[in-house]
Amino acid sequence: MKKLFSVTLLLLLFIGVSYSQEKNAAKLQNEANAALKSKDYKTALKLYEEVISAWGDGEKDGAVVYNAATCAYRTKDFPKALKLYNQASELKYRPDGCCFYIAKVYKLTKKKEEYKKQLLKGISEYPKSKYSNAMKKSVSTIYVKEANKSYVNAQEILNTRTENNRDKWDSIKAKAKVKIDEAVKVAEKALEYYPKNAAAKQIVTNSAELLKS
């Protein structure tokens, strides 16, 4: 009987501790939400991290992780933001938003290839997302920059023509055409993602004129 009483007492203590932890985590979460609402991102992040820590190996709330990621992003703690957005995505909480902001983190940390890949992933996996159009515009801008490099390179090749190398003008123009074709191809790709991209349209138009020079 004494043994049974001891086990019961331990169980009650465990339940009491668990309830206290849950209550404390809920209180912290409410405080974190209030700090986030008032745009005190630094305080909110600290509180959200305490909530996440209190979970241990238990069930995790994707919304809390996403909010923590947003606070890390706002405070420019990009490594932490990247980690938290990935965790929120794994928890299937706003995966399209996670993808979009992960791309923005890559852009801000100057990881160009990762940025482009993340945008393309988002466009492919979340075509109906509210972030889809923004991602298309961004990837279109990337392609315009690439197209412009080829276009400028073509101009530089054509500018090597002088009165002293007239016999080589045809071969110079042929080399320039390769770069012009590259520029047009990439600019057209930019327009596939965002048809209103004026810079891409201009590259296509200018490329046709450049070949006439």
* Residue recorded with tokens 């160009």: 112
d(CA 101, CA 76): 12
Q: Clarify whether residues 83 and 136 are in a common domain.
A: no
92 and 154 both lie in a single domain:
no
How high is the pLDDT of residue 17? 40
Residue located via tokens 């509210």 = 130
Q: Does some domain include residue 25?
A: yes
State the CATH number of the domain containing residue 77.
1.25.40.10
- The tens place of each residue's pLDDT in the chain, 213 residues long, gives 445 444 443 443 343 444 345 557 788 899 999 999 999 999 999 999 999 998 888 889 999 999 999 999 999 999 999 999 999 999 999 999 999 999 999 999 999 999 999 999 999 999 999 999 999 999 999 999 999 999 999 999 999 999 999 999 999 999 999 999 999 999 999 999 999 999 999 999 999 999 887
Token pair recorded at residue 194: 């965002």
Structural domain ending residue among the three candidates 53, 76, 110: 110
**pLDDT score of 49:** 96
Q: Give 52's contacts (C-beta < 8 A, 6+ positions apart).
A: 60, 64, 65, 68
Q: Which of 128, 125, 43 is nearest to 89 (CA)?
A: 125
Packed helices 62-74 and 41-55: angle between N→C axes, nearest 10 degrees: 150
Work out the angle at residue 55's Cα, subtended by the Cα atoms of residues 40 and 85, and round it to the nearest 5 degrees. 55
The answer on 136 and 63 residing in a single domain is no
What letter would DSSP give residue 212?
T
Separation CA 187–CA 146 (nearest Å): 8
- Residues spanned by the domain of 30: 15-110
How many structural domains compose the chain? 2
Pull the structure tokens for residue 84: 């938290």
Does the residue 51 lie in any domain? yes
**Predicted model pTM:** 0.84
User: Do 201 and 191 form a contact (C-beta atoms < 8 A)?
Assistant: yes
Q: Which two tokens mark 68? A: 């923590």
Closest CA relative to residue 29, chosen from 51, 58, 54, 56: 51
My answer on whether 151 and 182 are in the same domain is yes
Query: What single string gives the DSSP state of each residue in 100-127?
Result: HHHHHHHHHTT-HHHHHHHHHHHHHH-T
